[in-house]
């Protein structure tokens, strides 16, 4: 059990409005990722859901019951923080059981739940250690374990992978995905990394400047972004935006085309350009071109492609996969 | 370590400076201690020489200890220092936590107001404090001294501790809130242990002026029952005759407890610094 309804939530810090009216519905068992650039309000929204921050107006309901004014500990939530936030003076076992002890759970029930969680996260050998004796990845697993033990209606993750190195990040990401499948719990996950969002989410909520730009399945956002911001934020490398006037399109203001939807040819094509730089990643190659008509473009080619800086290439966009945006940034036909 | 930080002339120069400073700082203390073991004549004839078999004399210590009340003076000093220290650390840390942790109207103004005491010496208010103590019947009690010293120590304590409290991870406090810890438990169990090095620093800065103070004991609590050690040592300084043996012995003894307290706190300070470095 664990649905979440956010109804016109606003949050001001002094005169600064950080959340400008957020409406969102999260179904039971869903994995929802809030993504957006720093300062877009995604963490604030998560803290409002957690009860660590009071909303200035609006309603938050968990399982249909309004939790406005309810302290965090009684909202039936658990949270995993970016900096792990383990209690330094307690062992792993006590870190995981503190919340239950505070709630007055029976000792044998606490022991049982800690055992289940530590087996699930392979923390058994570390139960009697203190956080200082663990590596970063282990600490974050303990933090996840501390959340699991509470058996919450709602899991909240606040950029949990940001402090881990690249290899560990991929592993932990996998573990969180498996955890979600096993527990079938409702999870809300905040990140600024669109790769995490794409790989983990059932649905992604893209936030910008305190507003929701678009909500949808990862592929919906990728294939049919509602506006220029979402189009630019989802997908890596970033979508190319071309001034529509340069291409003779009077209706639209910007034309967008993803780097992977451009093809290059040394002999002929739509736009002629000069190679500025090429990045060889093995599985694919990113080529940065300065074209006469469309300006600077990034092209992503699958596989290896030899392009010397300074050489001339012709770029052709896939007409099926170009996007047009009006002057408000909204997508048009 | 790079070679440049390890060159021999540099470290000789650094050590020379440090040794010179140590000598200057310790000189008066050493003079007091060595002279306290000498006979009166020897003190005046050669104040800088160490006691020899001929000049060695414990008459100063004998006078001080036979005075009888001196143990009481020590006890008074100790009670006043420890109690003031306790209240300064407790209330200072609480105020610092509130300033660092909670957003409320006038937060920074309140911080400034509390820090004002660092710049304005409390002794300027002596007359008012004396009137207050007379009115409340606290003259010649240790309570009066404890209250004044707590007020004296708080500004610096709040100032230093609130800086340190801001560095304590917000996530940790939030994790505590989600686990259902009360604000008091978050403060005492999570935050205080993490700012222990800062607490030790504040303790040392607060403790030494209190122990050494002559002003307030003289004005607020000069009675025989409430005299502190520094005030008690004045007993031997007369208008015409000063019992230097006794004065020096009393001062030498007065150094001891404060050194012991300092050693306790400084170990905390060092432990805190190193544990932070290897995190």
Write out the two tokens for A6: 């956010």
Nearest to A28 by CA among A149, A150, A153: A153
Mean per-residue pLDDT, B40-61: 82
Of A82, A102, A78, give the one whose Cα is nearest residue A90: A102
Evaluate if residue B67 carries a pLDDT over 80.
no
> What DSSP line would sit under B89-137, residue for residue?
HHHHHHHHHHHHH---TTHHHHHHHHHHHHHS-GGGGHHHHHHHHHHTT
What's the topology of domain A238-332?
A: OB fold (Dihydrolipoamide Acetyltransferase, E2P) (2.40.50)
The Cβ of residue A193 has, within 10 Å, a number of other Cβ atoms equal to 16
Q: Phi first, then psi: what are they for B168, rounded to 5°?
A: -70, 135
Distance from CA of B179 to the nearest CA of A (A): 4
What is the nearest CA distance from A206 to chain B, expressed in angstroms?
24
Position B278 pLDDT exceeds 50: no
Report the distance separating Cα B277 and Cα B196, nearest Å: 15
| Residue B1: band (very low, low, confident or very high) from pLDDT cuts 50, 70, 90 | very low
Angle between helix B107-119 and B70-101 (nearest 10): 150
- For the CA atoms of chain B, what is the radius of gyration? 23
User: Across the beta sheet with A295-302, what order do the strands follow?
Assistant: A262-265, A312-317, A271-280, A284-291, A295-302
Phi, psi of B141 (to 5 degrees): -125, 155
CATH annotation of A4-230: 3.40.50.300
| Angstroms from B180 CA to nearest CA on chain A | 5
Nearest alpha carbon to residue B199 among B164, B238, B237, B240:
B164
DSSP three-state, residue A78: strand
User: Which residues are A191's β-sheet partners?
Assistant: A35
- Stretch among A163-167, A200-204, B87-91, B260-264 having the lowest mean pLDDT: B260-264
Q: Strands A57-62 and A65-66, how do they pair?
A: antiparallel
| Shortest distance, CA A101 to any CA of chain B (angstroms) | 9
Q: Do B279 and A132 touch (CB under 8 A)?
A: yes
* Average pLDDT estimate for B235-240: 79
List of domains in chain B:
1-57 (no CATH), 67-277 (1.10.3720.10)
Q: How far apart are CA A192 and CA A201, in angstroms?
A: 13
CA-CA-CA-CA torsion for A32, A38, A44, A46, nearest 10 degrees? 20
Kindly tell me if the per-residue pLDDT of A197 is higher than 70: yes
Other beta carbons within 10 angstroms of residue A217's beta carbon come to 12
The greatest distance separating any two alpha carbons of chain A, rounded to the nearest whole angstrom, comes to 76
Question: Does B5 score more than 90 pLDDT?
Answer: no
Q: Is the pLDDT of residue A97 over 50?
A: yes
DSSP state of B50: P
How much is the mean pLDDT over chain A?
A: 92
Scanning every residue of chain A, which has its alpha carbon at the shortest distance from the alpha carbon of B189?
A89
Kindly determine whether residue A88 and residue B189, on different chains, have CB atoms separated by under 8 Å.
Answer: no
Of the pLDDT bands very low, low, confident and very high (cuts 50, 70, 90), residue B272 is low
Model confidence at B270, in pLDDT bands (50, 70, 90)?
low
Q: Report the range of poorest mean pLDDT among A75-79, A243-247, B4-8.
A: B4-8
A308: left (phi over 0), alpha (psi -120 to 50) or beta: beta
Query: Quick check: A188 and A28 in contact, CB under 8 A?
Result: no
Per CB-CB distance under 8 Å, the chain A contacts of B178 are: 50, 52, 72-73, 77-79, 99
Residue B197: list chain A partners with CB under 8 A.
none
d(CA A195, CA A176): 14
Mutate to test the interface with A, among B101, B106, B170, B175 (most CBs of A within 10 A): B175
Give the least confident one: A157-161, A253-257, B56-60, B173-177: B56-60
Q: Which residues contact B135 (CB under 8 A, 6 or more apart)?
A: none
Q: What is the pLDDT of residue A20?
A: 94
pLDDT band at B238 (very low <50, low <70, confident <90, very high): confident
Give yes or no for a contact between A188 and A4, defined as CB atoms under 8 angstroms apart: yes
* CB within 8 Å: B180 and A50: no
What's the pLDDT tens digit per position in B194-220? Answer: 888 889 888 988 988 999 899 999 999
Contact A99 B190 (CB under 8 A): no
pLDDT at res. B11: 87
β-pairing, A186-191 with A31-35? parallel
- Listed by start position, the domains of chain A span 4-230, 238-332
Beta strands in chain A (DSSP E): 4-13, 16-26, 31-35, 57-62, 65-66, 77-80, 154-158, 186-191, 203-208, 211-216, 240-243, 254-257, 262-265, 271-280, 284-291, 295-302, 312-317, 322-325, 331-332
Residue A227 corresponds to which tokens in the numbers above? Answer: 């506006």
* B146 vs B138: CA distance, rounded Å: 11
Cα–Cα separations (whole angstroms), residue A53 to A70, A107, B65, B187: 11, 31, 62, 19
What is the reported pLDDT for B273? 54
Contact of A157 with A187, CB cutoff 8 Å: yes
First to last CA, chain B: 20
Residue B235 or B204, more confident = B204
The pLDDT value recorded for residue B3 is: 55
User: Would you state the structure tokens that stand for residue A248, as one six-digit string?
Assistant: 């003779």
Distance CA A155, CA B75 (A): 57
Over the stretch B143-169, which tens digit does the pLDDT of each residue have? 999 999 999 999 999 998 998 898 888
Residue percentage of chain A with pLDDT more than 70: 100
User: Which residues in chain A have their CB less than 8 angstroms from residue B172's CB?
Assistant: 83, 85-87
Indicate whether B279 pLDDT > 70. Answer: no
**pTM (predicted TM-score):** 0.81
């Amino acid at each position: 059990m664990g649905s979440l309804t956010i109804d016109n939530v606003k949050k001001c810090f002094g005169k600064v409005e950080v959340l400008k009216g957020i409406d969102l519905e999260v179904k039971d068992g869903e994995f929802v990722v809030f993504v957006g650039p720093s300062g877009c309000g995604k963490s604030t929204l998560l803290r409002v859901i957690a009860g660590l921050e009071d909303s200035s107006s609006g309603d938050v309901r968990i399982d249909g019951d309004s939790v406005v004014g309810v302290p965090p500990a009684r909202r039936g939530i658990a949270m995993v923080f970016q900096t792990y936030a383990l209690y330094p003076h307690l062992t792993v076992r006590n870190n995981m059981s503190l919340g239950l002890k505070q709630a007055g759970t029976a000792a044998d029930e606490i022991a049982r739940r800690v055992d289940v969680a530590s087996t699930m996260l392979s923390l058994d050998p570390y139960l009697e250690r203190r956080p200082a004796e663990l590596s970063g990845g282990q600490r974050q697993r303990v933090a996840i374990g501390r959340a699991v033990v509470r058996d919450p209606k709602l899991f909240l993750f606040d950029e949990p992978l940001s402090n881990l190195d690249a290899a560990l990040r991929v592993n932990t990401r996998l573990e969180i995905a498996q955890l979600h499948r096993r527990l079938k719990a409702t999870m809300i996950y905040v990140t600024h990394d669109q790769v995490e969002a794409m790989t983990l989410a059932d649905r992604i909520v893209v936030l910008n400047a305190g507003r929701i730009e678009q909500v949808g399945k990862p592929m919906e956002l990728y294939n049919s972004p509602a506006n220029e911001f979402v189009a630019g934020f989802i997908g890596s490398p970033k979508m190319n935006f071309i001034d529509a006037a340069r291409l003779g399109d009077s209706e639209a203001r910007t034309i967008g085309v993803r780097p992977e939807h451009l093809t290059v040819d040394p002999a002929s094509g739509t736009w002629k350009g000069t190679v500025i730089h090429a990045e060889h990643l093995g599985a694919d190659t990113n080529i940065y071109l300065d074209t006469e008509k469309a300006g600077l473009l990034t092209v992503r080619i699958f596989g290896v492609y030899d392009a010397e800086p300074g050489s001339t290439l012709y770029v052709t966009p896939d007409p099926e996969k170009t996007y047009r945006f009006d002057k408000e940034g909204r997508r048009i036909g | 370590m790079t070679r440049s930080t390890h060159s021999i002339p540099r470290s000789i120069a650094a050590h020379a400076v440090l040794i010179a400073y140590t000598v200057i700082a310790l000189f008066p203390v050493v003079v007091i201690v060595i002279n306290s073991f000498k006979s009166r004549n020897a003190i005046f004839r050669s104040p800088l020489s160490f006691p020899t078999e001929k000049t060695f004399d414990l008459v100063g210590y004998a006078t001080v200890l036979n005075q009888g009340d001196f143990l009481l003076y020590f006890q008074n000093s100790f009670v006043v220092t420890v109690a003031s220290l306790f209240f300064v650390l407790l209330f200072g840390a609480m105020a610092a936590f509130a300033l660092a942790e909670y957003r409320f109207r006038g937060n920074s103004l309140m911080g400034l107001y509390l820090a004002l005491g660092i710049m304005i010496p409390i002794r300027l208010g002596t007359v008012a404090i004396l009137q207050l103590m007379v009115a409340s019947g606290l003259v010649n009690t240790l309570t009066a001294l404890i209250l004044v010293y707590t007020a004296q120590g708080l500004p610096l304590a709040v100032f230093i501790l609130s800086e340190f409290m801001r560095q304590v991870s917000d996530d940790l406090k939030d994790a505590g809130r989600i686990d259902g810890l009360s604000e008091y438990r978050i403060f005492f169990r999570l935050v205080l242990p993490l700012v222990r090095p800062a607490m030790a620093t504040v303790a040392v800065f607060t403790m030494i002026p209190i122990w050494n103070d002559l002003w307030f004991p003289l004005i607020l609590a000069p009675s025989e029952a409430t005299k502190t050690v520094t005030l008690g040592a004045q007993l031997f300084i007369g208008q015409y005759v000063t019992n230097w043996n006794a004065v020096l012995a009393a001062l030498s003894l007065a150094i001891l407890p404060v050194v012991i307290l300092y050693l306790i706190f400084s170990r905390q300070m060092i432990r805190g610094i190193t544990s932070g470095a290897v995190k």
